[in-house]
Amino acid sequence: MRLKNKVALITGGNSGIGLATAKVFVAEGAKVIITGRNPETLAAAKKALGSDVLALKIDLTDVPAAAKVFAEAASDVGKFDIVFANAGIGGATPLGQTSLEQFEKIISTNLTSVFFTVQSALPHLNDGASVILNGSVHAVLGAPGWSAYAATKGAVRSMTRNLASELAPRGIRVNQVTPGGTRTPIWSPYAQTEDAMTALEEKLGNMSALGRMSEADEISKAALYLACDDSSNVTGIEITVDGGMTSAPSGAKIFRAA
Ligand code: NDP
């Protein structure tokens, strides 16, 4: 077991990539704390993960409330060895059609809250801990209509490196997982029927060399590597799980489709 007795905080652990990672961390022996906003999916996740998992309802954009909940969790379960700052939202912000409120919601959730997740967890982090941020291929894709989301993920990519430097004196490692399109509920607003989801999967799959979306479980395995001692001298990096979408774009399936 690679995470035996380690305490792991996973934001957004009630859905998608966070939930898949919570499953892997529990299976590897960690004591897991998950957070989310939706009480129903939080309860379902706790049921699926086992009664030892602590499931906490927090809106991470409420920074003081989140700091209080993290302190209580650390005092209940123990100081954290792993923090996966994973929670985030999608959302297009096309030029000419985006309100200030829509833009700022994406920035506050995907960027500001990520910084404050780390800052609020810091007093409760053991020396030698592993912090993992969740980025996105959007940091480098240049997809039209996704400026705010891409900007947050570009900023997270920079912040991974800043925080890696800043926390190195305590032996705390900071790394990032960078998913390409991954089958999770984040896509629900764009694919409300099975046919729409199939079309979306085909579109996103066509953009990568390996020709399909990622599964949440495939991202969780990258997070596991960064969380455990296998990566004990690794900091400031990102592991991209995108089927070659960003590293081998000329090999995208669309170019070889019949
Ligand atoms: P999901 O929608 O399945 O999960 C998102 C999680 O974030 C949910 O648990 C949600 O909680 C939580 N969350 C969102 N906003 C807040 C908030 N204000 N306060 C607290 N929790 C919040 O999506 P994914 O699993 O796909 O997304 C996880 C991360 O992966 C995100 O950062 C996303 O940007 C990133 N990512 C995803 C990709 C994909 O294709 N799926 C690709 C690249 C990156 P609740 O449901 O309770 O609101």
Has residue 226 got a pLDDT over 90?
yes
Q: Cα 211 to chain center, whole Å?
A: 22
Task: Calculate how far, in angstroms, residue 169's C-alpha sits from the geometric centre of ligand 1.
Answer: 30
Query: What's the chain's average pLDDT?
Result: 97
Burial class for 208, CB neighbours closer than 10 Å (0-12, 13-18, 19+): buried
Q: Are 85 and 132 in contact (CB under 8 A)?
A: yes
> Ligand 1 pocket, 88 CB below 6 A?
yes
Testing ligand 1's pocket by substitution, the residue of 89, 105, 177 carrying the most ligand atoms inside 8 A of its CB is 89
What are the domain boundaries of the chain? Answer: 7-185+216-242
Cβ 14 under 6 angstroms from ligand 1 = yes
Residue 51 clears pLDDT 90, i.e. is over it: no
Kindly list the catalytic residues: 149
pLDDT confidence of residue 258: 63
pLDDT at res. 107 = 98
3-state secondary structure of 37: coil
Residue 207: other Cβ atoms inside 10 A: 22
Residue whose CA lies nearest to ligand 1 atom number 23: 186
Which residue type occupies 139? A
Would the CB of 60 count as within 6 Å of ligand 1? yes
Tell me which CATH homologous superfamily contains domain 7-185+216-242: NAD(P)-binding Rossmann-like Domain (3.40.50.720)
Average pLDDT over residues 142-157: 98
Give the residue whose CA is nearest to atom 21 of ligand 1.
36
